[in-house]
Amino acid sequence: MSTEKKEKTSVRLVFMGAAGVGKTSLIQRFLQDTFDPKHRRTVEELHSREYEVGGVKVTIHIMDTSGSYSFPAMRKLSIQNGDAFALVYAVDDPDSLEAVKSLREEILEVKEDKFPPIVVVGNKIDRRGERRVSSGDVLSTVELDWNNSFLEASAKDNENVVEVFQELLQQANLPSKLSPVLRRRRETFPKDANHRPPMNKANSCLIS
């Protein structure tokens, strides 16, 4: 892969991690500002959203994966097609951090890239009493050893969710202008998920 920074008009963000860590919840929180306390099994789901930045249409594809190891071919394909990866674990589940480590290995292999764009996300920080993974250890592994970014988040409490997406977009080398646009866009999100505004027209005035 080229290390040259290129501006893209389409970008694919891939969410990976063990089942139950909150991948689907983080994506739903970002897209709809909702939280579902139930766990529904995801096989694989692709969400696409269009933004307009300085007259340029940018499509963001968000790939939600199952976390299941029973579909290795599917997982490889998701990796091949991904521009940036959110590797999610839950802070109350040390095994899920191990899963992040092996997923990273797999991404390095498939991408043949020593520094693929990865954001490691420790989710469920609202579960304070149940925390079993300390942030300091993960921080030094991710930022010093791996040279990737690390964020802790809560899909439930909407903590650091937008930041996860901003970091992913930045790593995927989208035009940097997009980040503030996304932030403003999220702030204008209505709480009622059934009345989300259309992506382009309604927001284009915010963008220029």
Residue nearer to ligand GDP on the CB measure, 58 or 107: 107
User: Any idea which residue has 């709809």 for tokens?
Assistant: 32
* CA separation for the pair 18, 47 (Å, rounded): 20
Contact 63, 12 (CB under 8 A): yes
78 binds, among Mg ion, ligand GDP, none (CB under 5 to 8 A by kind): none
Binding-site ranges for ligand GDP (CB under 6 A): 17, 19-25, 36-40, 42, 67, 123-124, 126-127, 154-156
- Exposed, middle or buried by CB within 10 Å (0-12, 13-18, 19+), for 199? middle
Strand partners, 119: 86, 149
* CA separation for the pair 140, 180 (Å, rounded): 28
Phi, psi (deg, nearest 5) at residue 204: -65, -25
Residue nearer to ligand GDP on the CB measure, 74 or 206: 74
Q: How far is the CB of 104 from ligand GDP (least distance, A)?
A: 17
* CA separation for the pair 117, 131 (Å, rounded): 27
Overall size of the chain counted in residues:
208
What pairing do the DSSP bridges indicate for beta strands 10-16 and 56-65?
Answer: parallel
86 binds, among Mg ion, ligand GDP, none (CB under 5 to 8 A by kind): none
Q: How far is the CB of 23 from Mg ion (least distance, A)?
A: 5
Q: How far is the CB of 159 from ligand GDP (least distance, A)?
A: 8
Residue nearer to ligand GDP on the CB measure, 12 or 124: 124
Residue nearer to ligand GDP on the CB measure, 22 or 82: 22
Q: How far is the CB of 89 from ligand GDP (least distance, A)?
A: 10
Q: How far is the CB of 18 from ligand GDP (least distance, A)?
A: 7
Strand partners, 84: 13
Residue nearer to ligand GDP on the CB measure, 23 or 185: 23
b/e map 84-93, b = 16+ CB within 10 Å: bbbbbbbbbb
Q: How far is the CB of 46 from ligand GDP (least distance, A)?
A: 14
Residue nearer to ligand GDP on the CB measure, 21 or 162: 21
* Positions in 18-77 near Mg ion (CB under 5 A): 23-24, 42
What pairing do the DSSP bridges indicate for beta strands 118-123 and 56-65?
Answer: unpaired
127 binds, among ligand GDP, Mg ion, none (CB under 5 to 8 A by kind): ligand GDP
Positions in the binding site for Mg ion (CB under 5 A): 23-24, 42
